[in-house]
Amino acid sequence: MQSKRSLRIPRVLCQELPTMEKAILVDPEEAAHLQQVLRLRADSPVIALDGRGKAISGKYLIRDKKPYIEATEKSPIESRAAEQEQGCLVLEVALMKGDAMSWVIEKAVELGARKVVPILTDHAVVQVDKKGADHFMERWQRIADQALKQCERLNRLTVTAPVSLEDLLKKQLSSPTPRLVALEPKSRGSWPGAIASISSQLFQGSEEKSALIGPEGGWSAHEINLFHAEARAGRLQGLDLGPLVLRAETAALLTLSCSLEARLNS
């Protein structure tokens, strides 16, 4: 149950925590939300977050027509290590159309993922060339930051720039655990190796673990061949999400839920 205090007082993401002696200039997008959506007035109370595990009580100020946050307490009112809020999961998810991608990023924040990596795949509907990868990354990061404030998470989730599947598979994982890839039922019969059933046990421990969720149109034959090569090299393990064909966002939510369960039971 959320406290009455947190429901009343807006939370503001800052580059660093303000102090009683040093006010921090508010980012233009944060300022626009405070002014245009929340209709905040000067001297209104806020809670400032640094996105790295700390929050402090403050007040909203206008100086020379610029928005600032100044602390009203000497020390943070909240402090949480990343391990308290985040599991080990890096969610690598193929681009989805419409609101589905935004929804998955929001849930990744709420359910404690460390990072979201958007993937360019053969069957992805969304094309990033026209607006550029930076446009999408900035938009998704804004969504993640809004979700952070709403769910009162203190450690920021990072959304990276979209990356091609080929480039993703070339990157070495920081963990010795193979990357997990969600397989459709029809892809499991030819898989060259063991296939793990989705469970919280896959996400136990503090080592980073990556789970790759496919596009709405499914993996292409070319991508399946890439996966087989990675699996034979011991760098990739198939993941069984059950007998039914799941929507991409459902597969992501199931994976996030198992990761959360692992953290809660640790």
Query: Average pLDDT over the chain, rounded to whole?
Result: 91
Binning pLDDT at 50, 70 and 90, where does residue 174 land?
low
136-166, pLDDT tens digit by residue? 888 999 999 999 999 999 999 999 999 999 9
Q: Which two tokens stand for residue 4?
A: 């009455």
| Helix, strand, coil percent values for the chain (each to nearest 5) | 35, 25, 40
- What's the average model confidence in pLDDT over 262-266? 91
Enter the pTM of the model. Answer: 0.90
82-113, pLDDT tens digit by residue? 988 999 999 999 999 879 999 999 999 999 99
Measured CA to CA, the distance from residue 69 to residue 249 in angstroms comes to: 37
What is the total residue count of the chain? 266
List domains and CATH numbers for the chain: 4-79 (2.40.240.20), 82-264 (3.40.1280.10)
Strands 179-183 and 209-213: parallel
The confidence score (pLDDT) of residue 175 equals 66
The confidence score (pLDDT) of residue 163 equals 92
The confidence score (pLDDT) of residue 217 equals 86
Reduce the DSSP state of residue 46 to 3 states and report it.
Answer: strand
